[in-house]
Amino acid sequence: MEPAPINLNLLQEFEHGLDPQHPERSAIPARVLGYGEISTVFGIQAEGMEGLAFKRLPLFENETEVRRYQAVYDEYLSLLSGPIGLHLPPGSRAVVQGRSGKPVFYIIQRRLAAESIGNRALDYLSPAEAATLVQRILREMHKVWAFNRGQKELRAAVDGQISNWAIEGFDPAAPSLEKNHLRYLDTSTPLFRRNGQEQLDVELFLRSAPSFLVWVLRLLFLQEVVDRYYDPHLVAVDLVANFYKEQQVELIPLVIDVVNDFFRNEAADLDIAPLDEQEVRAYYREDALIWRLYLSMRRLDRFLQVRLLRREYPYILPRNIKR
């Protein structure tokens, strides 16, 4: 079921009254539902906005940029839900004007029960059931990898972290993975290439970075991070490493076995190199350090912009992320 049409006037009113430093104190209050490394998902506490989750992207300088992103975003969703065959949450998108006059893009999805999100579901699953969940996620990602291998023009990418998947109809009182669809949630970075050319302007995601870091991120990290999502081995490493962040370290040896068994059997056609625990641990340590430093620099940038320069800082920063 698609969400009801969004009241754009109300969304515009919310945007103009938003306090990015304290969303709950906004003119129309917002309740944070989850923090990612880059963006925040929240609910708007107003009549007509019930049951919806909003991801806000204040990344655009003008209407031309936001229209280009919207076209890529729409094509990405059509690609994932069409020929690739992933299940996406019902949703829509909208563009409103920020207080600065620049466009702000909102991704709007039907809100799912918190316990149905993969990382939260782990709290209710036995180790064997957690292994089954990982296997199910790998099967969904295999659809993407098989699609990429099966044709020449297009290649798509997804972020396989366990928090990017939801179990449709999950009941924590009687957890089951038998007949439930997995839904892929993280569509805000629509990565796909046509004839080797990235369709998304990935420079957009440097907009939220402190100005004094942009050149370093562009030079040392941007292309490497983007390329990672097209590499099945590294996507799987990232999925397993995510268990460190989710405080599920005891499951990592089991999950590595599940991944390697999947690569040997169901994904044997792709000839993906196996994982080992040392590689996963080293990857996570480096990744955690980078994101910790990046968030610290963004907080410093917010302080400089808001406290010293008296400028608006339009981004909602995550609070401390447990690692």
Rounded to whole angstroms, the Cα distance separating 33 from 27 reads 18
**Mean pLDDT estimate for the chain:** 91
Assess if residue 321 is contained within a domain: no
Q: Whole-model pTM?
A: 0.92
Q: Residue 231 pairs with which residues in a beta bridge?
A: none
Rounded to whole angstroms, the Cα distance separating 160 from 139 reads 11
What is the pLDDT averaged over residues 112-139? 94
Q: How confident is the model at residue 44 (pLDDT cuts 50, 70, 90)?
A: very high
Rounded to whole angstroms, the Cα distance separating 172 from 124 reads 6
- Over the stretch 276-286, which tens digit does the pLDDT of each residue have? 999 999 999 98
Assess if residue 61 is contained within a domain: yes
Assess if residue 37 is contained within a domain: yes
**Comparing 78 with 288, which gets the higher pLDDT?**
78
What is the pLDDT averaged over residues 140-155? 94
Q: How confident is the model at residue 35 (pLDDT cuts 50, 70, 90)?
A: confident
List the CATH number of the domain containing 27. Answer: 3.30.200
Q: Show contacts of 283-292: CB within 8 Å, 24+ apart.
A: 283/237, 283/238, 283/241, 284/241, 284/244, 284/245, 287/238, 287/241, 288/244, 288/245, 288/323, 290/221, 291/37, 291/321, 292/323
Query: Of 47-56, 212-221, 239-248, 312-321, which range is least confident?
Result: 312-321
Q: Residue 193 has which token pair? A: 């290439």
Assess if residue 17 is contained within a domain: yes
What is the pLDDT averaged over residues 30-51? 86
Assess if residue 297 is contained within a domain: no
Q: How much is the pLDDT for 49?
A: 93
Rounded to whole angstroms, the Cα distance separating 294 from 288 reads 10
Assess if residue 283 is contained within a domain: no
Assess if residue 293 is contained within a domain: no
Provide the domain limits for residue 34.
8-110
Q: How much is the pLDDT for 107?
A: 95
Assess if residue 228 is contained within a domain: no
Q: How much is the pLDDT for 2?
A: 53
What is the pLDDT averaged over residues 172-198? 90
What is the pLDDT averaged over residues 250-263? 98
Rounded to whole angstroms, the Cα distance separating 147 from 124 reads 33
Q: Is the pLDDT of residue 102 over 70?
A: yes
Plot region of 111 (φ>0 → left; ψ -120 to 50 → alpha; else → beta):
beta
Structural domains counted in the chain = 1
**Comparing 161 with 176, which gets the higher pLDDT?**
161
- Over the stretch 282-307, which tens digit does the pLDDT of each residue have? 999 988 888 888 889 989 999 999 98
- Over the stretch 233-250, which tens digit does the pLDDT of each residue have? 999 999 999 999 899 999
Q: Is the pLDDT of residue 1 over 50?
A: no
Q: Is the pLDDT of residue 3 over 60?
A: no
**Comparing 78 with 217, which gets the higher pLDDT?**
78
Residue 2 CA, chain-centre distance (Å), reads: 20
Task: Show Cβ contacts of residue 217 under 8 Å, excluding neighbours closer than 6 positions.
Answer: 206, 209
